Amino acid sequence: MEATLAITEAVTKKPKPDPNSLQFGKTFTDHMFTMEYKADEGWTNPQIKPYAPIEIDPAAMVFHYSQTVFEGLKAYRTKDGVVRLFRPEENFKRLNRSNKRLSIPPIDEKSAIEHLKQLVALEKDWIPTEEGTSLYIRPFVIATEPSLQVAPAKSYQLFIILSPVGSYYPTGIQPVSIMVEEDTTRAVRGGTGSAKTGGNYSAGYNAQAKATANGHAQVLWLDGMEKKYIEEVGSMNVFFKINGEIVTPELSDSILEGITRKSVIELLKSWKVPVSERRVTMQEVKDAYDNGTLEEAFGSGTAAVISPIGELTWRDTTMTINGGETGDVTTSLYKTITNIQTGKERDPFGWTLKL
């Protein structure tokens, strides 16, 4: 049985930042949620307490063997004060799938959502209401046992921290330039690619630096075995509109099952737009470009929601997609999803959870 949530309010509150100059993931709210796992007690001691540095042993296993998982989701607030979470149950389901891959004990998803709701309610005033802004929510688990043995830890800590974030597109949705990465690998069959775990992310920093140096916003990852099949773009899932059909790489253990990806597919199906989850080679995309049937391309993820791809560079070819403009399906998806998230549009799918 789980212990009762203990709440300790911060004595002094931090000033709220200017919503027009927020950088992603740099400002944190007054409180955080924490919960501990001990081998003999399970997950215990749920607390909301002031956001502050933590004390941790330098031998804590997370520092040595990166046994850690995380999630990312957003809360939106309208001017009338209503706060909405977007599909939080999907995030905690995925957190448990990541936990399984990383040998971390599962959490109770229902009570995690209840605790999250209480935390967000307490921090309601931190949620900006300007167009495109939101409160980014970062649940994460770290292995805390002080031990250098290469083995799963016996103790863990789960945190939920909150960060108000500005608009991803302050001047309106903008297509980006993407570079196909062929040298380094994000994930491979049998690896940790479908888990949201730290190691997948720092592994891509070198490739991202190369892309940035060449004037691209992000990289497109190919499969680790043949460097042939498309997997993801940066830290987003990827979609192409080819000859009227939307295609996206089918899920595997090297692709993260994005919640925005899932929402895109469900939305397209509701619109009767043909959508297919299957293996897609880079060559197929190039062929479609060459014969004029590559109509749109975009990434999907929590941060940007939908990110149109205006240019895609593969080896010596730079493909300009839809004249470098955001395509119609891309625009519709962006508008509809963000409108549902922010309550501007009816939510026929039951995706939003009102506080």
* Residue ranges in contact with a copy of itself by CB under 8 A: 23-26, 28, 32, 51, 53-59, 62-68, 70, 72, 101-103, 136, 138, 140, 142-143, 146-152, 159, 161, 163, 183-185, 188-192, 197-206, 208-209, 224-226, 234-235
Do the Cβ atoms of 84 and 343 come closer than 8 Å?
yes
Residue 17 gets which letter from DSSP?
Answer: P
Nearer to a copy of itself, 3 or 56 (CB): 56
Give the shortest CB-225-to-a copy of itself separation in angstroms: 5
Give the shortest CB-146-to-a copy of itself separation in angstroms: 8
Question: Can you tell me the distance from the alpha carbon of 63 to that of 303, in angstroms, rounded to the nearest whole number?
Answer: 26
Residues in the chain: 355
Nearer to a copy of itself, 68 or 336 (CB): 68
Question: Can you tell me the distance from the alpha carbon of 145 to that of 102, in angstroms, rounded to the nearest whole number?
Answer: 15
Nearer to a copy of itself, 55 or 316 (CB): 55
Give the shortest CB-234-to-a copy of itself separation in angstroms: 8
Cβ neighbours of residue 41 closer than 8 Å, sequence gap 6 or more: none
Amino acid symbol at 344: K
Give the shortest CB-67-to-a copy of itself separation in angstroms: 4
Nearer to a copy of itself, 206 or 276 (CB): 206
Amino acid symbol at 234: G
Give the shortest CB-263-to-a copy of itself separation in angstroms: 21
Please calculate the CA angle 21-351-157 and round it to the nearest 5 degrees: 65
Nearer to a copy of itself, 190 or 323 (CB): 190
Token pair recorded at residue 350: 């039951």
Long-range contacts of 211-215 (CB under 8 A, 24+ apart): 211/178, 211/179, 211/181, 214/179, 214/313, 215/177
Q: Single out the residue of 353, 305, 298, 35 nearest to residue 165, CA to CA.
A: 305
Residue 188 gets which letter from DSSP?
Answer: -
Nearer to a copy of itself, 3 or 209 (CB): 209
Give the shortest CB-241-to-a copy of itself separation in angstroms: 26
